[in-house]
Structure formats: structure tokens, C-alpha cells
Amino acid sequence: MNILGINSAYHESAAALLIDGKLVCFVEEERINRIKHAKQSRVDNPHVLPEGAIRACLDYAGLKPHDIDYCAYSFAQNGRLQNVDVDTHLVQGGWGSPEGEKLFHARLQEIPARLESLLGHGIEGRFVWVDHHIAHAASAFYCSPFDDALALVVDGIGEFDSITAYNGTKKTLEKIFALPYPHSLGFLWEKICSYLGFSEYDACKLMGLSSYGDPLVFAESFKKLAWIDENTLFKVDNNIARFRSPDCSALEKLFGPARKPGAEITATHKNIAATLQKFTEDVLLILCDRLKKQHKFKHLCLAGGTALNCVANAIMQKHAGFDEIFIQPAANDAGTALGAALHVWCDKFGNSRGFVMNHSLWGPDFDEEAIQKAVAATSFRAEKVADAPERAARMISEGKIVGWFQGRMETGPRALGNRSLLTDPRRSDMREILNRKIKHREDFRPFAPSVIAEKAHDWFEIPARSIASDFMLFAYPTRKGCHEQIPAVVHVDNTSRIQTVSKEVNPRYHALISAFDRITGVPMVLNTSFNDSEPIVMSPADALNTFSRTGIDALFLGDHLILKDN
Ligand SMILES: [Fe+2]
């Protein structure tokens, strides 16, 4: 049975293909259309399908459109109608307004027919609407290593709920908790991002900033905006937050003037970020504690955009009392494409799950011929080398910035060793060099290391093994005496958002880091995504393009080495 999972309701459009319950290909549309998050979340565009990602999945599997048996779409169209008449502050014609929600609903209804014209063969009759949060929960639980687990979903909003929890047992997910809009952690992050002069997608920046601040300074003021509630979990005063309006005036009354984009970042901004981070951690720990008392869960699966908060994840791992936590790498809305397909396979048809997601390499790959063709279309010359991991490690140890493009593309927002820029973690100036030559990121943002799994414990305090630490989803303290040796990858709070790399999962990347270890005595490299203010590169042509216009010193496309002065 071939099931195509699709997400396009809000943003992070994606497609995932399951064949007989096994994931074959999973692609985010942004990598193909080269627009970050694929599209903005708007009432007039849910019907804009990830056509490039769908094609990439079919091509990878060698299938034709008529080979798809079922389409699973990660949104339940009728659930959204509850959103009308909830907000006092909104934009007429936008989210929450009668006209806006009506338009959104109408556009959603167009999707089955659009897929029919794309895939043909009566697919409209084999189209399944899947609740957004069930799709999130399924995306984690049904490919986790656990038979039983608490599946916790935390995002901005699904159809109407912002947090849901499920009791996952083998082939079923039973809802055991729901918190409706406007009490939303995800939207708190989006709104405070905007108030602090960042894009609403910059939760990762805010999380990085929070480590510089004191969560106590604004603790009392913050309680007017959002507070823990004995009965429901927590509440938000939406007269202050105004989630569906760009208006920040009530937040300004509470915390002071909003920061303009690009303006200086002050202690106030850092303290607000720290308060939000602490509130998020408190909410998650309280909820897990309550649910564990009722259901005796041993395992936790996390999904939704908030599951990308590696600081909160590490706090959960240390203090929430689970034996193990699993998070799949595309925990954001892109992952619902996978989850919708898994829901149809497991819940709808009662099949056993077909795989454990122990790596992130589910995207397209490019063969020798495609690489040669892409190089030939540029003025660069490539040298084929027999020892690419060794050569790359040597260059990194000499202070070079290396583009490392290998095999299948990662899914999820992190580059994990196949579409990565790699450099030396030992150099304290490397963060500044990377930002100046390529990345153009804010200076306060940390870079992360990829460390070979067998030596990770020597350098970092890792409380428990989790597959999710292979996906760069936990920030761990560095061990005493270690951080001085790797200043480029340690944050101000002495933690590192590490990626553990095992030989079994990515032997080539493991070989590169092991070679760097032999040269330097340090079993890790600095790993940042292969991009400059754009989606991560997908194809050899994308990589060559970014290479040509940035300060990357050397590029490995498979075994082909390309240097700037060639
Ligand atoms: Fe979501």
C-alpha cells in the first residue's frame, strides 16, 4: 500500500511517502521552492500544495501518480470553524475573523480536487483528512522505539487546540488531554519574537538569547500575560497577547517599548526571553507530572514546533522522570505529513508499524552523473578524491570552512552531516568568521557540534541515551575542563546543542569526525546548516550556488572536491 502524507495547511509544507508502512521518502517543499518554510501561513493559501516535494517522493520511489493508493492530509477541515468569535483583537479578513476563516475553509475544501488533477486515478475518493495534532502525535509515536508512550503535542494551534496529549499503545493514540486556543505556548513564542524585533519564526534565536537573561526579573509582570492554572494547565490573557493582531501595545505596557528589528539587544530583551523559556519549561514539566501520575508512562514522544526547543527538551530529559524521550527530526508542521500517513497506516487500517526513525536522511540524493553535470554548468573544476572524509578533516583542522554535501538530504530544520558546513570547534574566533563570511547570523547565537557517539559522554553531561540526540535536539552541559577546548560550540550557559553521530547511521560523517579526532584529539566538528539566509541546499546546483557567493573555502560533493581557486 502506497500512502502519500501531505502538509500544507499553515506552513512548512511537506510530503512523505510510506510504502507498506515503511518510510521511503520525506521532503520539505522549502528545499525545492527555495522559500523558507515553503509559504507564509495565511487564510488564502492552504490549497497551495507541496507539488515539488510530492514529485520528489514519487521520483525517489520510482512511482507514477496513479500508484498512490491513499492521500493523508494533516488537517481536519471542519475542526477549524471553532475559531470565529474568539478574539477581540484581530485583523478583518484574517485569522479568527468570519470572512478569513470562511475563506480558509473554502480553500481547504479545494484540496482533494487539486490532488485529483495532480495525481488522477480517483484519488479524491481515497483522500483522508487527519486531525493536525493526531498527525503530530503519530509522527513521533508510530516511528518511535516504544510500544507504549505519552505522545505530547505542543505547537501554536492545530485546528483549535494548542497542546494535546495522547496515550500511545502499539497501533492506537487515545487523546487524554487538550488545551484550546488562545492558551498557546507556540503563539506566545511567536508573539514575543515579534515584540522583540525578530520574525515569528525565530523561536530558536529567542531560545539562544534566553541563556543570557535572568528569568526572575520579569516573573511577576509575565504572570499578567500567562500563568499556571491548577485546572487547565495554564492560561493566556489574550487582551494582552493579541495573537491574531500585529498590535503589541498591551505587551509594551507590560514590558516596555517593543524592540525594532536590528536594534541593540538589551538586558531587558534577554530577561524577557529567559522568562518565556522558564515558563515553557515549567508548563511542560507540570503537564508531564500530572499525566504520569494518571497513566504511569515510562516513555515520552514529543512533537509540534515547541519540541525543537533543545533547552526545554534537556530539562524534560533530566527532570520529567521518563526512561527515554523520542522526538523525530521534523517535529514542526513538516512532520505532520509523515504523521498523517502513519495515522492512516496504523489507525485507519490497523497495521503494525513498519520502522523506527533512527536517522534523518529521507530526502533526495544525487548520483555521480548529476554532480558532474552540475559542476560542468559552472566555472569551477572538481577533483575526484579517494579519501574525502580524511581530506575534509585535514582542511577543517587547518581552519578552513568546508561544505559537506553527501548522499540523501536530511529532513527537519537541522543539517545533520549531509548538507552541512563544517569547521574547527577549537577556535574561539570561528563563530565570528562564519558569520562574517557566510551565515550572517546574530552574534549571540551559538553554533553546535557533531560529536562521535562513543566519545560524547567524555565531553558532555548526557543524562540518558535518546535517538533524538542524533537529531541535535538536546542542549547538554559540557564537562568540567572541556569547554575551553571547544569555545566555538559552547553557549554562554556552558551547554552545547550536540548531535551525536554513530558509525551505523552515517559512516561517512563518522569517518570525517574520527579523522578530525585523530589529527586534533577533539572528537567533534562545528556543524551548521549549508545555507546563507535561505533554506538548506538540496541539490548540487544549490550547493555550488551558495559556495560561489559566500566565503566557504572548499566544497565536497560526494567524492568531488571543489576549491575556490580552481
Ligand atoms: Fe502544528
> Does 566 have pLDDT greater than 50?
no
The 10s digit of each residue's pLDDT in 62-75 is: 999 999 999 999 99
Measured in Å, residue 14 CA sits from the centre of ligand 1 at 13
Measured in Å, residue 524 CA sits from the centre of ligand 1 at 33
Measured in Å, residue 70 CA sits from the centre of ligand 1 at 22
pLDDT at residue 170, rounded to an integer: 86
Q: Which three cell numbers stand for residue 261?
A: 528589528
Measured in Å, residue 135 CA sits from the centre of ligand 1 at 9
- Which position has the grid cell 529567559? 274
Phi, psi (degrees; rounded to nearest 5) at 73: -110, 130
Half-sphere exposure of 39 (CA within 13 A, CB side): 19
The CATH 3.90.870.20 portion of the chain extends over 368-563
Measured in Å, residue 153 CA sits from the centre of ligand 1 at 8
Q: What number is the average pLDDT over the span 209-226?
A: 97
The CATH 3.30.420.40 portion of the chain extends over 2-143+328-348, 185-322
What is the β-pairing status of strands 495-501 and 448-452? Answer: parallel
Measured in Å, residue 503 CA sits from the centre of ligand 1 at 33
Instruction: Please give the angle made by the CA atoms of 489, 492 and 498, to the nearest 5 degrees.
Output: 35
SS (H, E, C) 157-175: CCCCEEEEEEEEECCEEEE
Lowest mean pLDDT among 77-91, 284-298, 407-421: 77-91
The 10s digit of each residue's pLDDT in 267-304 is: 999 999 999 999 999 999 999 999 999 999 999 999 99
Architecture of domain 185-322: 2-Layer Sandwich (3.30)
Measured in Å, residue 421 CA sits from the centre of ligand 1 at 29
* Average pLDDT along the chain: 96
Measured in Å, residue 264 CA sits from the centre of ligand 1 at 32
Measured in Å, residue 90 CA sits from the centre of ligand 1 at 21
> Does 452 have pLDDT greater than 50?
yes
The 10s digit of each residue's pLDDT in 146-190 is: 999 999 999 999 999 999 999 999 889 999 999 999 999 999 999
435 pLDDT band, cuts 50/70/90, is: confident
User: What is the rounded (10 degree) CA torsion for 469, 472, 473, 478?
Assistant: 80
Measured in Å, residue 209 CA sits from the centre of ligand 1 at 24
Measured in Å, residue 175 CA sits from the centre of ligand 1 at 16
Architecture of domain 368-563: Alpha-Beta Complex (3.90)
529 and 421 Cβ atoms separated by less than 8 Å? yes
315 pLDDT band, cuts 50/70/90, is: very high
The 10s digit of each residue's pLDDT in 370-392 is: 999 999 999 999 999 999 999 99
Q: What number is the average pLDDT over the span 386-414?
A: 97
DSSP letter for each residue of 85-137: T--SS--TTSTTSHHHHHHHHHHHHTHHHHHHHHH-TTGGGGEEE--HHHHHH
pLDDT at residue 254, rounded to an integer: 97
Instruction: Please give the angle made by the CA atoms of 93, 198 and 274, to the nearest 5 degrees.
Output: 115
The CATH code belonging to domain 2-143+328-348 is: 3.30.420.40
The 10s digit of each residue's pLDDT in 236-253 is: 999 999 999 999 999 999
For the chain, how are helix, strand and coil distributed in percent, rounded to 5? 40, 20, 40
Which residue, 446, 443, 481, 444, is CA-closest to 461? 481
pLDDT at residue 533, rounded to an integer: 86
Angle between helices 51-61 and 111-119 (to 10 degrees): 40
User: What is the rounded (10 degree) CA torsion for 205, 188, 320, 487?
Assistant: 10
pLDDT at residue 442, rounded to an integer: 84
121 pLDDT band, cuts 50/70/90, is: confident
3-state class (DSSP) for residue 529: strand
Measured in Å, residue 291 CA sits from the centre of ligand 1 at 21
pLDDT at residue 171, rounded to an integer: 86
Measured in Å, residue 9 CA sits from the centre of ligand 1 at 9
Gap between the Cα atoms of 20 and 341, Å rounded: 11
> Does 513 have pLDDT greater than 60?
yes
Measured in Å, residue 136 CA sits from the centre of ligand 1 at 7
SS (H, E, C) 313-367: HHHHHHHCCCCEEEECCCCCCCHHHHHHHHHHHHHHCCCCCCCCCCCCECCCCCC
- Which position has the grid cell 505542543? 154
Q: What contacts 56, CB < 8 A, 6 or more positions away?
A: 15, 25, 27, 32, 363, 364
Q: The sheet that has 448-452: what strands, in order across it?
A: 382-384, 560-563, 554-557, 402-405, 419-423, 524-529, 448-452, 495-501, 474-477
Q: How many CB atoms lie within 10 A of CB 365?
A: 13
Measured in Å, residue 369 CA sits from the centre of ligand 1 at 38
Measured in Å, residue 129 CA sits from the centre of ligand 1 at 15
Buried (b) or exposed (e) across 232-265, using 16+ Cβ within 10 A?
A: ebbebbbebbbbbbeebebbeebbeebbeeeeeb
